[in-house]
Amino acid sequence: MRVAGTELLRAAQPLSGGLLGRALSLEVLPNRDALPYAALYGIEDQATTFFRGTLRYQGWSELMDGLVALGLTQPTPTPAGAHVWPQLLDCLGVPRAASASASALGANGTRRADAARARAAAALRWLGAWDEGAAVAGGTVVEAFCALLASRLRYGEGD
């Protein structure tokens, strides 16, 4: 299985079967070339297929795909004058309110992309990116996004 980097997030599949598949709601993304690992594990003669993947909770890939579509993972310079997150999001053309609920949209084509962007917009609201006091940190958009995630998702004392 070969997946272009631009299609990776859309290649995620629900993990089905096995204990993890039954116990947790996970998805699996292909993760690089698995073939060298068959020999490393000594199973190249027994395995008819071999796959290396990354596990995430279901919905993670769609959410990340939406954040990518909104431009938040670009290594482009942070726009001049974008000192707080609402200004940065306005510069990127991110809508303040999602026009459609992610759950109300279909699962393919443009509707899937719209659903991913709507979910990403809702996540940005949850992260506090529309708060006027949320300062932009970092010289590029992706650095600013990483700083926002780090500030909002860090463990608290005792976690």
Residue 100 is part of a domain; what is its CATH number?
A: 1.10.1870
User: 103: pLDDT confidence band, cut at 50, 70 and 90?
Assistant: very low
Same domain, 131 and 64: yes
Classify residue 39 by burial, with Cβ atoms within 10 Å: 0-12, 13-18, 19+: exposed
118, part of any domain: yes
Structural domain boundaries, residue 43: 5-57
Q: How big is the CA angle at 125 (ends 128 and 156), to the nearest 5 degrees?
A: 40
pLDDT in tens, 105-149: 444 556 777 888 888 999 999 999 999 999 999 999 999 999 999
The whole-angstrom distance between residue 92's C-alpha and the CA centroid of its chain comes to: 17
